[in-house]
Amino acid sequence: MRPAHGYPDRRDDVRLLVIDPAAPEGAGLRETRTPALPVLLAPGDLLVVNDAATLPASLRGTDEAGRPVEARLLAARGGWRVEAGSPPPTRFVAVLFGAGDWHTRTEDRPPPPELAEGARLRFGALAATVGRQATLSPRLVELRFDDDGDALWAALYKEGRPVQYAHLAHDLPLWAVQTVYATRPWAFEMPSAGRPLSWEILLALRRRGVRWASLTHAAGLSATGDPAIDAALPLPEAFEIPPATARAVAETRAHDGRVVAVGTTVVRALEGAAQQHGGAIRAGRGETDLRITPAFRPRVVDGILSGAHAAHESHFQLLAAFAGSDLLAAAAAHAERAGFLTHELGDSMLVLPGALAPAHRKATSVG
């Protein structure tokens, strides 16, 4: 499978591979396109999205000796305050890189210059102090910015750029890494599973009787190129579940509807909250260190809309929490043959029991 090199002409018209674990053997795959999503869900189902807007979390600058440094913000220390008018935090966890930029693969980027605690970094008009370094890797540090409040917010958006990777063909503008329903800027990388959802698709879901609700999850980095850090990803991430979403999940489950998560960040938020509250979803803020593995058994989420991933990728392995290995192997083989595009601007996969039931199905059969 090839990574998508740029964003599609239409965000809401990419290929969609439907994977139905409840279908009879040999009938669990269908290929269609994302506008068919409303047909694949049923009245009474609930689609849950991550409404975090994507920050310009890549900052390029220098240390006090003029040596190049790139900082990619990974998490906010102390979490995000969600009250109206609250300023952004001033302390962040960041991964540091040396010379170069996104055109070079992260694993090929040189390490940053050796920086002691208290070292100063400057990113254009934005200055920061290197704080505590993680034992996991000297490249994982805390940054304390000099500015706060509106001044910090303005400087981040002036000096920062979206985090991106070498498979892309050109610089991405900030608008290209936002979902249509993005609200508060909590995400350090785009919650990309929701990028193909347009207002037209969301309104079609409503007309069909499918509800959709939102939560906010501070999506972190997907890769750093540092083996020790990458093995630990995802790190603990903050989330907030609004009262309306908690009620919608409870009502959907009480009436035997299906809860469909848009992306792994939504799965982590809902399942992480359920673990913390004895299986119930409660409104409020929290932080989750939950890692979705093939052995994980969801208690709240019935299915997932995900980006397309190759079989060897960790994100694809997460789908094994929702479908059996044989069906996923067949899905990976089909996606490979059909040339599905991977990564944040690529095609999509829907893993949902019953999605291909005759009452729902209007998709093209996989040949």
Residue 213: CA count within 13 A, CB half-sphere: 25
Supply 99's token pair: 């010379």
- pLDDT beyond 80 at 262: yes
Span 135-180, pLDDT tens digits: 889 999 999 999 988 899 899 999 999 999 999 999 999 999 999 9
Q: What is the DSSP string of 145-168?
A: ES--HHHHHHHHHHH-B----TT-
- pLDDT (0 to 100) of residue 318: 86
pLDDT band for position 310 (cuts 50, 70, 90)? confident
The bridge status of strand 259-262 relative to strand 46-50 is parallel
Shortest CA distance to 345 belongs to which of 38, 10, 35? 10
For residues 256-266, one letter each, b for 16 or more C-beta atoms within 10 angstroms of the residue's C-beta and e for the rest, the string is: ebbbbbbbbbb
pLDDT band for position 358 (cuts 50, 70, 90)? low
- pLDDT (0 to 100) of residue 81: 52
Average pLDDT for residues 52-64, to the nearest whole number?
Answer: 97
Are 197 and 262 in contact, with CB atoms under 8 Å apart? yes
Residue 173 CA, distance from chain mean position: 18
- How many C-beta neighbours within 10 Å does residue 199 have? 10
- pLDDT (0 to 100) of residue 361: 47
pLDDT band for position 43 (cuts 50, 70, 90)? very high
Residue 76: CA count within 13 A, CB half-sphere: 21
Average pLDDT for residues 195-222, to the nearest whole number?
Answer: 97
What mean pLDDT is reported for the chain? 92
* Residue spans of alpha helices (H) in 72-210: 149-159, 199-208
Share above pLDDT 70 across residues of the chain, in percent, rounded to a whole number: 94
Multiple choice CATH, 2-53+171-365, 3.40.50.2300, 3.40.50.261, 3.40.1780.10, 3.40.50.720: 3.40.1780.10
CA 258/CA 352 separation, integer angstroms? 9
Secondary structure of 43-87 in the HEC alphabet? CCCEEEEECCEECCCEEEEEECCCCEEEEEEEEECCCCCCCCCCC
CATH T-level assignment (fold) for domain 58-159: Thrombin, subunit H (2.40.10)
Are 30 and 361 in contact, with CB atoms under 8 Å apart? yes
Are 82 and 285 in contact, with CB atoms under 8 Å apart? yes
- pLDDT (0 to 100) of residue 305: 98
Chain region(s) in the chain for CATH 3.40.1780.10: 2-53+171-365
Residues of the chain by 3-state class (helix, strand, coil), percent to 5: 25, 25, 50
Chain region(s) in the chain for CATH 2.40.10: 58-159
More confident residue, 280 or 363: 280
Span 113-135, pLDDT tens digits: 999 999 999 999 999 999 988 88
- pLDDT beyond 50 at 69: yes
Give me the amino acid identity at 47: L
Span 71-120, pLDDT tens digits: 999 999 865 554 445 556 889 999 999 999 999 999 999 999 999 999 99
Give me the amino acid identity at 267: V
